[in-house]
Amino acid sequence: MRTTTENAQLALLLEVSGTPKPGNVDRHREYEDLRFEHFVTGAVCARDGLRLAAGGAEVGESFRRAVAGMSQQSGGNTQFGALLVVTPLVRASAAHELTPEGSRNIVAETTVEDAEKFYKAFEYVDVAVDDPPEGMEPLDVRRGADAVATIRERGITLENVMERSADRDGVAAEWVDGFPRTFGAAQTILDGTGPVTDRAAEAYLDLLADEPDTFVVTKHGQETAEEVRRRAVAVRDGEEDVEAFADELVERGINPGTTADIVAGALFVALERGLEV
Amino acid sequence: MRTTTENAQLALLLEVSGTPKPGNVDRHREYEDLRFEHFVTGAVCARDGLRLAAGGAEVGESFRRAVAGMSQQSGGNTQFGALLVVTPLVRASAAHELTPEGSRNIVAETTVEDAEKFYKAFEYVDVAVDDPPEGMEPLDVRRGADAVATIRERGITLENVMERSADRDGVAAEWVDGFPRTFGAAQTILDGTGPVTDRAAEAYLDLLADEPDTFVVTKHGQETAEEVRRRAVAVRDGEEDVEAFADELVERGINPGTTADIVAGALFVALERGLEV
């Protein structure tokens, strides 16, 4: 029997091994400065943080440690978002509540300290973020220690942080809603047949076709994100070739990272629920 | 800084990620029942055994635990040989002696109990082995508990086991000779440039061109092993296309496993000596 920590690490590795995952690094496609080997190394070194969460430690500190470990490679940000999806789910599994309701409880229990640790995690890698909405400038993660001071003054928990970002960040939306897309994709993977990495790639395409990827919105704007979504529908409907679509997105530097993050979470849930590899 | 355990796990993952590695499972090629995802899972679950060795535990028990973990996937034998190369090197690193001389010391210190644990490791997975030479039938690993009784009676250490196999098993030959090909390939990888997985694939091809792979000898005979070696030379000399060669070997089910095992060891040594990923 694999442990929860092993399943968490395995989820990160299977996620990047699934192909084709149009626009993202996978087994067959990589960017010159962000390669498959960087994701593998990130998954190896994130393990200690994941183990903390599996042992029942706070989500914020577990996440910070996982990101600190993940950053021990030269590719930069490989799995910040994936770890942000997976860590609370690992914590929910440690509490024997790996369900939408159980993950909602874990999120509800987060504290101001968890929020501080979350902000600290941004110090290890360069994460692409959008300008904050009006009125939230003091909480901009790019303000570092200043933002942390504001968090303390206002008593903002990690749940509060996610609530404020949920409408423009697909990972934050999962946090506040009980991870609906993550649990949905996990079921798709469990119901599938054949190689797990193929099922992960199919789950990715389904998610991409369903909603515009918020990471693409942040980096390339709403219009591009909507184009990517429409074309994922076309691929799913057999009207467009998936390999050509994947090549084109890499060429244009469009990587739907949020969608990949959710697949990592879905793989973790599926593995914990007995997915055989 | 990555830990020794992390480097050991990473070595297994980078080994299988290197492509093309003619005949073996890699990022671009797999067998229907032995897939990339099985190797990834094997590397995730072997970690506890590797951690034992990194903490200074006996080589035999560390290896047994690593193999028991590795077998937690449905592909069968993924990294038995790779772990057999890597484990004593991890133990040598734990003793601050990751050198040919240091690894020779670790091998020389092995006991009868280490030999017993080595034999036990065969119970977890189906490993392809040859008939033993004349006079060594009582030590045939396929005899299981009977062979272990013989080991105890005759006071055979794990070093002795390897000595008796060194002329027909490339991994055993590494054990008794201070891992010359492993350390040599590590230096090649360290001296190289570009993606680490590409360097691993190049080191693999060099090793394949230098000596017939003993795993191929066991499964397909000396003649086939020599053919593979000659053609690896042709690939290296630019006279044959590496991708076509890789496709053909997979098609024929010829996998030079011993050569891949040595690359895993070489990656571990290179990572411990500061290889950046």
Give how far B41 is from chain A: nearest CA, Å. Answer: 6
- Given this model, what pLDDT does residue A36 score? 97
Return the pLDDT at A143: 84
Considering only residues 211 to 250 of chain A, which have any Cβ-Cβ distance to chain B shorter than 8 Å? none
pLDDT in tens, B176-213: 999 999 999 999 999 999 999 999 999 999 999 999 99
* Phi and psi angles of residue A195, each rounded to the nearest 5 degrees, phi first: -55, 140
Give the distance from residue B35's alpha carbon to the nearest chain A alpha carbon, in angstroms.
Answer: 8
The answer, yes or no, to whether residue B127 has pLDDT greater than 90, is no
Q: How far B234 CA sits from the closest chain A CA (Å)? A: 26
Q: How confident is the model at residue A226 (pLDDT cuts 50, 70, 90)?
A: very high
Q: What count of Cα atoms within 13 Å lies in the side-chain half-sphere of residue B105?
A: 13
Interchain proximity A2–B195, CB inside 8 Å: no
Query: ipTM of this model?
Result: 0.95
Report, as an integer, the average pLDDT of B133-144. Answer: 83
**Residues of B with Cβ-Cβ distance to A40 under 8 angstroms:** 10, 13-14, 17
B9 shares contact with chain A (CB less than 8 Å): yes
| A54 at B interface, C-beta within 8 A | no
In this predicted structure, what is the pLDDT of residue A144?
79
Q: How many CB atoms lie within 10 A of CB A1?
A: 6
CB atoms A44 and B6 under 8 Å: yes
- Are B44 and A197 within 8 A, CB to CB? no
pLDDT at position B192 is 96
- How would DSSP label each residue in B222-263? HHHHHHHHHHHHHHHTTSS-HHHHHHHHHHHT---HHHHHHH
Q: Residue A253 — very low, low, confident or very high, per pLDDT cuts 50/70/90?
A: very high
Give the gap in angstroms from C-alpha B223 to the nearest C-alpha of chain A: 34
Give the Å distances, CA to CA, from A20 to A203, A235, B126.
11, 12, 32
For the full predicted model, state whether its pTM sits above 0.95. Answer: yes
> Which residue would you say has higher pLDDT here, A126 or A206?
A206
Spell out the residues 6+ positions from residue B146 whose beta carbon is closer than 8 angstroms to its own: B138
- For the beta carbon of residue A38, count every other beta carbon within 10 angstroms: 25
Interface touch B9/A36, C-beta < 8 Å: no
Q: Which among B6, B14, B28 is the nearest to A37, CB-wise?
A: B14
pLDDT in tens, B218-273: 999 999 999 999 999 999 999 999 999 999 999 999 999 999 999 999 999 999 99
Q: What is the pLDDT of residue B31?
A: 92
